[in-house]
Chains A and B, each alone.
Chain A
């Protein structure tokens, strides 16, 4: 009996494919939590990162947020929010957003700040307004790094949303947590492989987004 055997028997069991504990339901829940958390984190991190990177101010604050965000243990924060706020989506969203904002904020700030200053100066010299300099010059050049920040935040969210099952939430982590309690190793490994696949799909999704949105000139130089 090896891991591959467990995985194949988990996926071939038809009872795992429907109902409230079926793979489609759990997958939908997991994606739903992840997307909400990523949207909130991006709504906070992207504007602040673009603005601080464009003006070059607030670097120390950004660095502080990054260090604080890294130092906070995600799992501990999840349980803390659960015991303080009780059952629900909010106590899970708070740690997910707190974890995802620092990578988005820091990479966006660094990406915009480190854009080659000569095209930016040229754009100003052509009479572009500051907002156009930011969105038409700095943003396209900084895009690969900004996307990598979003990708790392998304992957972090997907893996932490797995642990959310421990505080009674749905999602793919349910299989792992329930399986561990029920000593049903097939379920544990099946859940783990689903989570790993979802994380890899996220990785592939961001690769594809970068492939289609980053301008060819920038891409060639980035390599």
Chain B
């Protein structure tokens, strides 16, 4: 067969790079929306302490719902469309973000907040210029988990009417007995996830210039690793 490495069957009505774009769109829009919604929810949980435990319960339960089950229930409302894939992914992202942001914002010392107030910062400026930047490492740790698992989960969208980006190659690979297509899907998805993860690590280095960097840290006590461990709990 004279097909090139990235040639894909015509029944997908797309090119390989077209599928990559669809994959990224379906994976990243929900993460961005999830972050935008999570910020006020998390702020509310920081302000009203009693609200946090119930919110945490609801998010844990929502996160336990398997993606395929979530997709198919939505078919009745939004059809076999990209929206049906994006809504669950947005909910999962939200669930990852809320605890990450709450823990990050709570970790800001009271003295720092008092100092900001004493310098004349109002609540809004204090939030954007003091609390959010200090919480940035924890938020970006959440972003990494949400982005990578979102990219991985989009593939399942193939089952609901070929809405799975690179995952659409899996079905064709099976019915046409072309392992190349399955490899293209798996490796392509993994590469997208690793690139997105690396990009976010870079963003963290850029937005938190005060954090220790490089391999020779004096003692990695202040690294946000415990947060990562807690977040790992939320990975599916």
Give me the interface of A with B, judged by CB distance under 8 Å.
Answer: 2-3, 6, 66-67, 70-77, 79-80, 82-84, 102-103, 106-107, 110-111, 114, 145, 148-149, 151-152, 155-156, 158-160, 162-163, 166-167, 173, 176-177, 179-180, 185, 188-189, 191-193, 195-196, 199-200, 202-203
Contacts and interface: CB of A to CB of B under 8 A. Distances in A.
Contacts of B232: 66, 102-103, 106-107, 110, 149, 152
Contacts of B60: 203
Contact of A103 (B166, B174, B235): B235
A176 B67 CA distance: 12
A79 B156 CA distance: 11
Contacts of A106: 228-229, 232
Given A75-B167, A103-B233, 7 more contacts: A73-B151, A75-B153, A145-B230, A155-B236, A163-B68, A188-B75, A203-B61
Contact of B65 (A6, A148, A199): A199
A135 to B, nearest CB: 21
A75 B170 contact: yes
A203 B64 contact: yes
10 contacts: A71-B194, A71-B197, A75-B164, A152-B232, A156-B236, A160-B66, A162-B68, A192-B69, A192-B70, A203-B60
Interface residues of B, number: 52
Contacts of B75: 185, 188
Interface in B153-199: 153, 155-156, 158-160, 164, 166-167, 170, 173-174, 177, 179, 182-183, 185-186, 189-190, 193-194, 197
Nearest to A201: B64
A80 B186 contact: yes
Q: Is the interface of A mostly helix, strand, loop or mixed?
A: helix
Contacts of B234: 152
A111 to B, nearest CB: 7
B145 interface: yes
Contact of B69 (A80, A152, A162): A162
Contacts of B151: 73
B64 A71 contact: no
A73 B152 contact: yes
A20 to B, nearest CB: 22
Interface of B: 60-61, 63-70, 72-73, 75-76, 145, 148-149, 151-153, 155-156, 158-160, 164, 166-167, 170, 173-174, 177, 179, 182-183, 185-186, 189-190, 193-194, 197, 225-226, 228-230, 232-236
Secondary structure of the B side of the interface? helix
B68 A73 contact: no
A155 B62 CA distance: 12
Contact of B226 (A67, A75, A110, A149): A110
B229 A110 contact: yes
A159 B236 contact: yes
Nearest to A157: B236
B229 A145 contact: yes
A75 B157 CA distance: 10
Given A107-B232, A148-B233, A72 B174 contact: no
B66 A107 contact: no
